[in-house]
Amino acid sequence: MKAYIFLILWCITLDALTKYLADINLREAISIIPNLLSLQYIENTGIAFSIAITGIFLKILTVILIFIIFWYYWTQEKIKQSAILNVSYSLIFAGAIGNAWERIFKWYVIDFISLEHFSVFNLADSYITLWAIGILYYYSKHKS
């Protein structure tokens, strides 16, 4: 269990550090792979894919969702003792907490990884995506 807590803390720290670096250094977009990948500073006041839900309702929703995910993990998934599930849930906790922290205290989330014609996101968003991939993988191998 200590390893998963360390993973959560490491991912939250890395997410916060990259957002901080984007905040102080990204005043202009930087192309990494032309017409595909760039670094671009965005303040996202909405939810996933910049869907517009703002204000105190979004903060409350964020906190409620984190508690629901934690409760579900603790009561339904943890007992399966699967490394894939534990790592996956560690990633969703890190991603949710990383974005929630900014949303609650800044009213926006810093996004900076831009995939052209898709979205601008951050490491916390990547963790959430990896959680979904991990869950899909686990349940494709362990059909009930």
Q: Is 23 a catalytic residue?
A: no
Q: Is 111 a catalytic residue?
A: yes
**65: its two tokens:** 């969702």
Q: Which of 91, 99, 110, 111 is catalytic?
A: 111
Q: Which of 125, 127, 130, 134 is catalytic?
A: 125
Signed CA dihedral, 37, 42, 48, 50: sign only: negative
List active site positions.
111, 125
